[in-house]
A and B are shown apart, each in its own frame.
Chain A
Amino acid sequence: MTMDIIAQKLVVRDWPLKEPGDEEFFGYLVALGVFPGGDWEGDRIFPYADFAYGDSYARFRLPYDDGLLEQLQKHLADNLEILAASGSIAVKLWIQLTENGYKVDLP
């Protein structure tokens, strides 16, 4: 099976939330992973999250934040479970950087 999305050049975007108070709607969480690069160490290997919304598909380089990674893993697991149970996914995410870490929420 060929999929259009694989044929696209996928730009890895920098993580946009820099300061407490920054927030953004990302879309439906569809993948988490490790991007391999370089000698499998250093700056060229990093965690990422993929989000889809409408016709767009975006990959973000994630910061090394245990709380954020843990919450994203839970939401991705929910999407996989819902996909298996209902034939679709439902978890789309707003993420906010607060003084106490990342707050991940459904709209």
Chain B
Amino acid sequence: MIDPRQVAASVVGAVDWQSEVSGYCRCPGESLHTHKTGKKDCRVNVDGAPTIYCFHASCAPVVAEANRRLRQELGSPWTLTLPGGKVLRAGDVLQSSGAILPRETVLARAKVEGRHPGEQLILETLVAMAGRFKPELFEKFHWPFGQILSDSPLLVADRDPDDQFRTWLKLWPAHSTVWVGDIYSTGRPEHATHFRPLADWYQIGPAMGNYTCGSAFKPGTFSRSNANCDGTRFLVVESDSLTKDEIGAVFAYLNNRLRYNLHAIIDTAGKSLHGWFDCPRNKVMEDRLKAALTVFGCDPKLFTYSQPVRVPGAWRDGKLQRIVWLKD
């Protein structure tokens, strides 16, 4: 029976194992890195769908080829006896709790979710991996609130409420119908007044409520439901557990490493920041992102595209909800 860790080492070289199944290694595409390489930038994982993952983006083609080799070499059955006597098999996932997620459970979940078994395995592996590299992510992509403010390509944080609101309106395509209101301003015909074309909002200003949505709506609607979204949408990333100094790492990781286009960061005038990103380009990518962001401490409900979020330019308990970072 093969030892998966020896196989991994044959692909990536020496591995500094941090657990029975995961360790730091030299990135196979290190020569392509365009930024300084750290010792903890690349990890190899042998459980679930065996994966090499590097925090750098420039090495992606070489890492993809190394992953193909790793998965091919680990394609035959293997077992690994863990401390305590539990046995991990090829295709099982070692979870952060120490429990083993058996491959049969992965298959059963795939059936329930109507998902390809291979994609389900990738998702389950991604959750485990995200837990493993979370500390490094927050260290490497650290982007505290003060730095976000000073890094903004456009100086927006000190603009007045009307200017904040109108600046935010410019994120949207010109034809969009956008909802602005309070969270319960939905569902009855009289709420149609909260769903307006951008041109109307330019005239009205930030006076109709504290919330908006990351999605535009079909003209004439009065209900803020997913069915009434018109397909124009942003992914608004937020967390209820991460502080303003912590969530920036998630924004930076999405923007710099995963190449999700960051448009703006909004200070909710409360405890959190909201990052407005382009949406994942398909359901597979969306499911993967949702799995990872949940592990990082984000609200999985942010993928409900009709979910209300704070709109810039409105006042909240004497504090202004405002854009603090805006793309040029």
Taking a contact as CB atoms closer than 8 A, the residue among A86, A91, A92 that contacts B187 in the complex is: A86
Give B272-307 interface residues, CB cut-off 8 Å to A: 272, 294, 299-301, 304, 306-307
Of A12-20, A59-67, A77-85, the stretch lying at the interface with chain B is A77-85
Total interface residues in chain A, CB < 8 Å: 20
- Take A54-B300, A105-B270 as given contacts and tell me if A87 and B186 are in contact as well, using a CB distance cutoff of 8 Å: no
Q: Closest CB-CB distance, A93 to chain B, in whole Å?
A: 10
- In A16-62, the 8 Å CB interface with B consists of 25, 27-28, 53-54
Partner of A25, one of B240, B306, B308: B240
- Complex Cα distance, B308 from A92, in Å, reads 11
In the assembled complex, the CB of B264 is this many whole angstroms from the nearest CB of chain A, namely 18
> Pick the contact of B240 from A81, A87, A90, A107 — CB < 8 Å?
A107
Number of A-B contacts (CB under 8 A): 60
Q: Does A88 lie at the interface of the complex (its beta carbon under 8 Å from any beta carbon of B)? A: yes
B246 within 8 A of A: no
Residue B226 at the A interface, CB < 8 A? yes
Do most interface residues of chain B lie in helix, strand or loop, or is the interface mixed?
Answer: loop
Q: B35 contacts the other chain (Cβ, under 8 Å)?
A: no
Q: Is the CB of B183 within 8 A of A91?
A: yes
**A53, B297: Cα distance in complex, Å:** 11
Which residues from A are CB-within-8-Å of B223?
Answer: 85-86
Given contacts A53-B240, A107-B268, contact A85 B299 (CB under 8 A): no
Contact, CB under 8 Å: B183 / A82: yes
Given contacts A53-B299, A107-B238, contact A85 B307 (CB under 8 A): no
Q: A53-B240, A90-B308, A107-B238 are in contact. Are A82 and B299 (CB under 8 A)?
A: no
Interface of A is mostly: mixed
Give bound CA distance, A25 to B224, whole Å.
25
Q: Is the CB of A25 within 8 A of B226?
A: no
Q: Which residue of A lies closest to B191 (CB)?
A: A85
Q: Mark B216-245, 1 if CB is under 8 A from A, else 0.
A: 000000011111000000000010110000
Q: Smallest CB-CB separation from A85: which chain B residue? A: B187
Could you say which residues of chain B place their CB within 8 Å of the CB of A25?
Answer: 240-241
Knowing A25-B241, A78-B183, A81-B184, the reply to whether A88 touches B271 (Cβ < 8 A) is no
Q: Is the CB of A82 within 8 A of B240?
A: no
Those 6 A-B pairs whose CB atoms lie nearest each other, nearest first: A85-B187, A86-B225, A87-B225, A25-B240, A85-B186, A86-B224
| A-B residue pairs in contact (CB < 8 Å), sample of 22 | A54-B294, A82-B184, A82-B186, A82-B187, A85-B184, A85-B186, A85-B187, A85-B191, A85-B224, A86-B187, A86-B224, A87-B226, A87-B227, A88-B225, A88-B226, A90-B183, A90-B308, A91-B183, A92-B240, A107-B238, A107-B271, A107-B272
- Other A-B pairs beyond A78-B183, A85-B223, A88-B226, 6, CB < 8 Å: A82-B184, A85-B224, A86-B187, A86-B223, A86-B224, A94-B271
